[in-house]
Structure 1
Amino acid sequence: MRRRSSVLAALAAAAVLAAPAAAAAGTSGQASETGGRTLSFRGMTLRLPSGWRVHDHRDRVLVTTGKCRTPEPFAPDCRGFWLYGPEVIAYGAGGRRYTGSKPFVPASGAPVGCPFAYGSVQVLGRAGDRGLHRVGRGHTAKYVAWDGRCVKRDGRTTALFTQREWFLPTSKIVVVDAWKTPGLTKVLRNATWSRRGAS
C-alpha cells in the first residue's frame, strides 16, 4: 500500500512536470541540426545514420531516431537517445551526482514522465546487464541496463522497457537510451575522439 501511495504521489507531481530539467548553460559540445552526418559532443564524435536528427539543448543533446512529437528528453512518443554533460551529471541520480551505481533520473523529488505512455511515470528497478563497453579507440564506458516500467495513477503498469546507460566518467558524458535504439551500440563503438576528449 505504501508503494502504491508513493506512485500516486509521484503521478500527482508529474502533472506539474511539463518539461525536463532546464538546460544547463555552458556546454562545450557542438551538435549539427542535420541528420546523417556527425555529432560532436565534449570531444566525442559520432557518425549518425541517415534519418537521425540532432537537437542541441546545450549540456544535453537529444538524437531522435524516428517519430518524435516533442523533441525533448524523456518526452512521450519521442524515439531517440540522450547525451548529457557534466552539469546534468552533477544531479543526474535523482538530485545527486550520477556515478552509474543508480539509474539516471534527471530530477530531484519530481517524477519523470514515461517515454512510452502519456499520463504515466517511469519507475526504474534492478540493474540487469552491466559491464564495460568500448566507445571509440581508447575509451571505455561503464554500461548498465536498468529494468523500467511505466505506471499510471491507479498503479497500473502500462509498459515495460530497459533503460541503457553508457557512462564515461573521465570525459563526463553519459548516454541514455530507453528505446533499445538499433545500431546505437555500433555507433558508440565507432566513436572518434579529439585531443580535448582524451581520457
Structure 2
Amino acid sequence: MITALTLAASLLVSPAAATKPVTYGKLTIQVPAKWKVKKYRYGLHVLTGGCAKRAAECDGFWVLGKSAVKYAKEGGPYRLDHPYHPSSGVMYCVKDERYWSSPMPSKPSVTGFKAIGDRKAHFTEWKITCSDNGTPTKITYPQRLWYLPTTKLLIVDEFRTPGLATILKGAVWS
C-alpha cells in the first residue's frame, strides 16, 4: 500500500515519472511508461532503451516462466550455481556480437536474497567476460538473476537496468 501511495504521489509531482503495469502470470510490476514489452511464449522481454550497434540484445531484462526455467542451463533446468545459459552451445556476447560469452564463470560475484514484492528471491550476480576465439577481451557484463523456485519465475538482467531492484521490490502478486 505504501508503495502504491509513493508511486501515486510521484506521478502527481512529476508527469515524467509516469509508469505502466507489466503483468506476467500472477506478478505485476510498475515500469516507466516509455519502456516497451515484447511477449513470448516463455516470458516477457522488457526493453528499457536503445540497441547498441554491435549488441546481441537491446537494453532490457527478461521475466521468464516455467518453460524457460526448465531449459535454462545448457538445455537443462535452471540451477542457482550456474549462470543463465539456455543454449547448449556458445552464446553471443550480449554487449558485442562479434564475441562470445565464454567460458561461463564458475563462481558468482554476489549471492543472497532480494525481494520481489512480498517474496524473497534467490539473487545471484555473475561477471560474464566476452571472448574472441577463446581469448578473453576487456568486455564484460553483469548477469543479475532473481529466482523464485516455488513459482518457477526467473528475472534475467544483463544490462544492470537502473532501478530494477526497486521495481521488483514494489511488485504485487495476485
Give the TM-score band, short-chain normalised: 0.7 to 0.9
Aligned to 2:5: none
| Structure 1 runs not aligned, ≥5 long | 1-34, 195-199
Cα deviation per residue 1:126-165 (whole Å; 9 max; x = unaligned)?
201110111102x110000011111123624141111100
Aligned to 1:131: 112
Does the Cα contact within 8 Å between 1:122 and 1:151 map onto a contact in 2?
A: yes
| Structure 2 runs not aligned, ≥5 long | 1-17
CA distance in 1, matches of 2:64, 2:120: 16
Instruction: Report the alpha carbon displacement of residue 60 of structure 1 after superposing the two structures with TM.
Output: 2.2
Kindly report structure 1 stretches of 4+ aligned residues shifted beyond 6 Å.
none
Letter in 1 for 2:122: K
Does the Cα contact within 8 Å between 2:129 and 2:136 map onto a contact in 1?
A: no
Aligned to 1:50: 33
Does the Cα contact within 8 Å between 1:67 and 1:77 map onto a contact in 2?
A: no
Cα deviation per residue 1:150-188 (whole Å; 9 max; x = unaligned)?
112362414111110000111111001111110000000
2:139 corresponds to 1:159: yes
Aligned to 1:60: 43
SS of corresponding position for 1:167: strand
- Please give the residue correspondences for 1:45-194 in structure 2 after superposition, counting only pairs within 5 Å: 45-68=28-51, 76-108=56-88, 110-123=89-102, 124-125=104-105, 126-137=107-118, 139-153=119-133, 155-194=135-174
* Seq. identity, %: 29
- For structure 1, which segment, 184-193 or 110-119, has the greater mean C-alpha deviation from structure 2 after superposition? 110-119
Instruction: Report the alpha carbon displacement of residue 77 of structure 1 after superposing the two structures with TM.
Output: 4.7
CA 1:62–1:188: 2 relative to 1, 3 Å: same
Does the Cα contact within 8 Å between 2:24 and 2:43 map onto a contact in 1?
A: no
CA distance in 1, matches of 2:29, 2:80: 22
CA 1:152–1:170: 2 relative to 1, 3 Å: same
CA distance in 2, matches of 1:156, 1:128: 18
Cα deviation per residue 1:41-74 (whole Å; 9 max; x = unaligned)?
120001001321101012121111110379xxxx
TM-score by length of 1: 0.72
CA distance in 2, matches of 1:154, 1:100: 25
SS of corresponding position for 2:94: coil
- The root-mean-square deviation of aligned C-alpha atoms, in Å, is 1.9
